[in-house]
Copies of this chain bind each other. A is one copy, B any other.
Amino acid sequence: MNDTFLKACRGEDVDYIPVWLMRQAGRYLPEYQAVRGQVDFLTLCKTPELAAKVTLQPVDILGVDAAILFSDILIPVEAMGVHLEFSEKKGPILGEPVRTKSAVEKLIVPDVEDSMPFVLETIKILRKELEKKVPLIGFSGAPFTLATYMIEGGSSKNFLNTKKMMFQNSGLFNYLMKKLTKTVIAYLSGQIIAGAQVVQIFDSWAGILAPDDYKAFELPYVKKIVSSLKKLHPDTPVIYFVNDCAGVLKDAKKSGADVIGIDWRIDMKDAAKKLGKKVVVQGNLDPCALFLPKEKIEEKVQEILKKAEPAKGHIFNLGHGILPETPVENAIVMVEAVHKYGKKS
């Protein structure tokens, strides 16, 4: 097996910088669209054979150094008892928003095997299929990110309901966060037991918080998740992706994660400097840069590789999920450029 990615997660010496792409199993791939054309999105997430199939597609097509479980961050939210559906236009739509004490009380901390067996089954299929290929990443949304969807009832512009609860009823907010934290720990631990070799915590909305609020209302829960996972599975690397991280990166570094994933709105040089020699950095090409001419994509890759050199280690990635409109050949150019210019001599 190609273990370059695993080594990089641990900060060990590697022959070249490994690369994968957030949302690498997704709509930009015609092969994904062919599968997705047969079933709706949630059914795809919940059908192990199909979820495994689309997970494997980018490994062969792009030549990336890791596979990531195909699923959705809201799967555990549904398992906690919130009705979930996906609209083609609006994205996720959740049932009755969780904004009251009784609504939070009703939420369950799910038993992973009972309520999300399809995720574990998908992982088991994938580990067999990936045996001689690349490692498998499991994942979960971070508690604050999951809380926003629950409280807003879907996506949001200002996240006013979330912050209202946080600011006006912090006791209730923290009660919700504790339930989410327990769920995320059980969920990621279940994925590791089923075979996930690395896990990534996606904090898509951490960046909407003022740094002091991030420190008070999200960081302690992420720390708790990482430390619990480290107790249960000391050898499994944890990646913490923080979107719009520039203002909170020096705090996110304290999460205990082995790798910090960063978005593209911070310069890699600044990020590497802030992270120092404690954690590996993952990122951070602007997903829109994949619309550049090929030679320019190669230039951007080289710039980021160079800027990340002072870090403890580097895993190349986009700064956010690959866009559905992306030309597949440009994603391949990026992966090949990382492998070419990221060689260690």
Q: Which residues of A pack against B, CB within 8 Å?
A: 158-160, 163-164, 167-168, 207-213, 244, 246-248, 264-267, 270, 286-289, 291-293, 296, 303, 319, 323, 325
Known: A211-B267, A244-B265, A265-B247. A291 touches B164 (CB 8 A): yes
* 6 interchain pairs, CB-CB under 8 A: A160-B323, A160-B325, A167-B292, A168-B292, A207-B265, A210-B267
Copies of this chain, whole number:
2
A265 contacts which of B209, B270, B286, B319 (Cβ < 8 Å)?
A: B209
- Nearest chain B CB to A269's CB is how many angstroms away? 9
- Choice from B167, B265, B303 contacting A208 with Cβ under 8 Å: B265
Least Cβ–Cβ distance between A68 and chain B, in angstroms: 21
Give A149 Cβ to nearest chain B Cβ, in Å.
16
Report if A265-B160 is in contact (Cβ < 8 Å); known contacts: A167-B288, A167-B292. Answer: no
For A321, the closest partner residue in chain B by CB is B158
Q: How far is the CA of A213 from the CA of B267 in the complex (A)?
A: 10
Alpha-carbon separation in the docked complex, A286 to B325 (Å): 34
How many whole Å from A57's CB to the nearest CB in chain B?
A: 23
A244-B244, A246-B266, A266-B247 given; A163·B291 CB < 8 A: yes
Distance of A160 Cα from B323 Cα, bound (Å): 9
The 9 A-B pairs at the shortest CB distance, nearest first, are namely A246-B246, A163-B288, A246-B247, A211-B267, A247-B266, A247-B265, A167-B292, A210-B264, A210-B286
